[in-house]
Amino acid sequence: MNNAAPAQGVGAPVIHAAPPRPSYIPPFGLRTVIGCLGMLLAVHVAGFNEHVTEIGLSDIRGAMHIGHDEGTWVIAIYEAFNIAAMAFTPWFYMTFSIYRFSIFMTAAMALLSIPAPFMPDVTSLCILRAFQGLTAGCLPPVLMTVMLKYLPPEIRVFGIGGYAMSATFGPNLGLPLEAFWFERMGWHWLYWEIIPTAALAIAMMAYGLPKDPMHFERFEKFNWLGLLVGLPAICSLVTVLYQGDRLDWFRSSVITDLTFWGGAAFIVFVINEAFHPSPYFRIQYWRSRNIQAALLSLVGILAICAIMGDIPATYLSAVRGYRPIQTAPVSLVVALPQLIMLPLIAAFCNSRKVDCRFVLAGGMLCLAASAWLGTWLTVDWVRDNFYPLQILQVFGQPMTVIPTLMLATLAMGPADGPFISGMVNMLKGLANAVAYALFAALTRRREQYHSTMLLDHHGTHGLALQGMGNPITQQLSVTSPDSAHVARNSLQVFHTYVHEQALVLALNDIYYVLIWVCLGYACMNLILPRRVYPPRAPSPNTPAR
């Protein structure tokens, strides 16, 4: 008896049924959903620990008697180890198991926050924050793998949308959380606010994540050279981005040495990864047009979103004197709608009729329109003037991040997940460092330029307008009979006006730059990547398309 299946066309490729799941992975159900949500919560906890303490650094410095320059190192060291950890995490969670590794790192991150407010000096605080950044950076790569590994193909795009929350929802919620904890609970809670949510995340992961086995035999091919070279290389380059503008870049021997030795070590690291039998990520993925477009877009998009979030906060703080609690509604306008927009965009992109490249281009146009509205910024703006800009970002951020992650992950096979995960997450973290460096450098240089131009214009035309009187002096003359005192106050007020105008013009320039960058990314993603389709569970002997 011939039981062979009916013959198909000669040479027609066949997609075979997906291999059976390992025995430790239970059928998809409520328990798996709880475990995935626990992993998502843990990543948000790590993000809150990063953004809340960064935004609240001024309050922390005042409470712990830390100077401004020393305080910048607290952020730089945390971010350096946080980003470096993302590159090496996939190898370790494959070795120690996702279940155990995730719970341990979440618990360690929460426990390290307990002594943080009681550190006796800046050095001990930096060391503690370095270890905390290391543990927090281990969580986002695990989330990407969990969403791609444990969710059925039909809803995998929703898992990508959940991961995208860490890039859109979490950063925009950092400012409101900082305002709440500092104003209502006290500055200690800027560190401690992660403890209750971390405990909840650990409970959800312990209940829902599959208990995968450990593979200690992987240590036989452990990539020692990659770790010993790559970790200090990434930390050095991230430190350059965070400290470069403050130390005036290559006029500083610290920045020069870190760039030279960190760059040299990173080149050795990349060469080692290309040829090592057990790499942390595969450099060969960059040969793919989709990977090139997706990873370049990911860095650019997240940097654009970060800068667009920094501009309102900087303006309202420097020009209007707002406290974080007064600026919080501007961030909430972007953060809260993401809970609805991310699932909607994921559902839209989950249709095979929708080309995610056009969704990405549409999102870039929304961000470009938001930046164009920002070019109307003046010193008369208040908080409400930023709401139209933020509403456009409500649509633009998920429309760009979700398609970018789809282009980066859906072109890969299941075995490629850990290797692409580390690369994507390291670049995701690096985008924040790039945004910080670009915003600091552009703001300072353009503000100095406009300040010089305004003062030069005043000096050139000051005598011509002298007969019209000085309105500042006229208003202040009634406050004091001492003419010298009035003159000094008039000069201070004049300098304040010049500073405000120069800062506003600098922020306008940044908005103009963002318009063209957004349009450039929109064009690039319509040309460079190939189309990807949302995954579906293959049926046996289905002809490939």
Q: What is the pLDDT of residue 543?
A: 46
Picking from 169, 189, 222, the residue at the C-terminal end of a domain is 222
For residue 37, is it within any domain? Answer: yes
User: Whose CA is closest to 48, among 147, 196, 202?
Assistant: 196
The answer to the question of residue 382 being in a domain is yes
Q: Which of 165, 200, 222 is the last residue of a domain?
A: 222
CA distance 422 to 85: 9
Q: Is 94 exposed, middle or buried (CB count within 10 Å of its CB: 0-12, 13-18, 19+)?
A: middle
Phi and psi, residue 14, nearest 5°: -125, 130
pLDDT of residue 414: 59
Q: What total of structural domains would you count in the chain? A: 2
Question: Is 260 among the domain residues?
Answer: no
- Contact by Cβ (8 Å): 278, 218: yes
In the chain the first and final C-alpha atoms are separated, in Å, by 32
User: What CATH number is attached to the domain comprising 39?
Assistant: 1.20.1250.20
d(CA 63, CA 53): 13
Residues contacting 533, CB < 8 A, separation 6+: 352, 410
Specify if 208 maps to a domain: yes
Q: Are strands 542-543 and 14-15 parallel, antiparallel or unpaired?
A: antiparallel
* Cα–Cα distance for residue pair 240/69, rounded to 1 Å: 15
Cα(428)–Cα(481) distance, integer angstroms: 59
State the residue range of the domain holding 501: 288-457+484-535
Are the C-beta atoms of 512 and 372 separated by less than 8 Å? Answer: no
Both 168 and 293 in one domain: the answer is: no
Q: Measured between alpha carbons, how far is 309 from 397 in angstroms, rounded to an integer? A: 11
Residues 392, 496, single domain; the answer is yes
Which residues are 543's β-sheet partners?
14
What stretches of 221-374 adopt beta strand conformation (E)? none
Q: Is residue 85 domain-shared with residue 167, that is, in the same domain?
A: yes
Please tell me whether residues 92 and 212 are part of one structural domain. yes
Of the candidates 57, 41, 49, the residue with the CA atom closest to the CA atom of residue 81: 49
Structural domain contains residue 265: no
- Please state, as a whole number, how many other Cβ atoms lie within 10 Å of the Cβ of residue 19: 7
- Asked if residue 245 belongs to a domain, the reply is no
Could you tell me if residue 258 is inside a domain?
A: no
Residue 299 and residue 196 in one domain: no
What is the per-residue DSSP string for 404-455?
HHHHHHTTS-GGGHHHHHHHHHHHHHHHHHHHHHHHHHHHHHHHHHHHHHHH
Measured between alpha carbons, how far is 351 from 406 in angstroms, rounded to an integer?
Answer: 13
Do 66 and 215 fall within a single domain?
Answer: yes
Report the candidate in 149, 11, 3, 6 with the shortest Cα–Cα distance to residue 544: 11
Q: Does 331 lie in the same domain as 193? A: no
Look at residue 450 and tell me if it is in a domain.
yes
The type of residue at 302 is L
- pLDDT of 395 reads 92
371 and 511 together in one domain? yes
d(CA 266, CA 278): 17
> Which of these, 459, 545, 544, 468, lies nearest to 498 by C-alpha position?
459
| Last residue in a domain, options 222, 239, 269 | 222
Structural contact between residues 194 and 132, judged by C-beta atoms closer than 8 angstroms: no
| 292 and 215 in a common domain | no
pLDDT of residue 24: 64
* pLDDT one digit per residue (tens) for the chain, 545 residues: 444 444 444 443 344 444 556 656 667 778 888 988 999 999 988 888 887 777 777 778 887 788 888 888 888 899 999 999 988 888 888 888 888 999 999 999 999 989 988 888 888 888 999 999 999 988 888 888 888 788 887 888 888 888 888 877 777 777 777 777 777 777 788 888 889 999 999 999 998 888 888 888 888 888 888 889 989 999 999 999 999 888 888 888 999 999 999 999 999 998 988 888 888 877 777 777 878 888 888 888 989 988 998 899 899 988 888 887 888 888 888 888 888 888 899 888 888 888 888 999 999 999 999 999 999 999 889 889 999 999 999 999 999 988 888 888 776 665 666 777 778 888 888 888 899 899 999 999 999 898 888 888 777 766 655 655 666 665 666 566 666 656 666 667 777 888 888 999 999 999 999 999 999 999 988 888 888 877 766 554 544 44
Shared domain check, 514 and 379:
yes
> Are 203 and 317 in the same domain?
no
Are 410 and 310 in the same domain?
Answer: yes
Rounded Cα gap, residues 145 and 161, in angstroms: 13
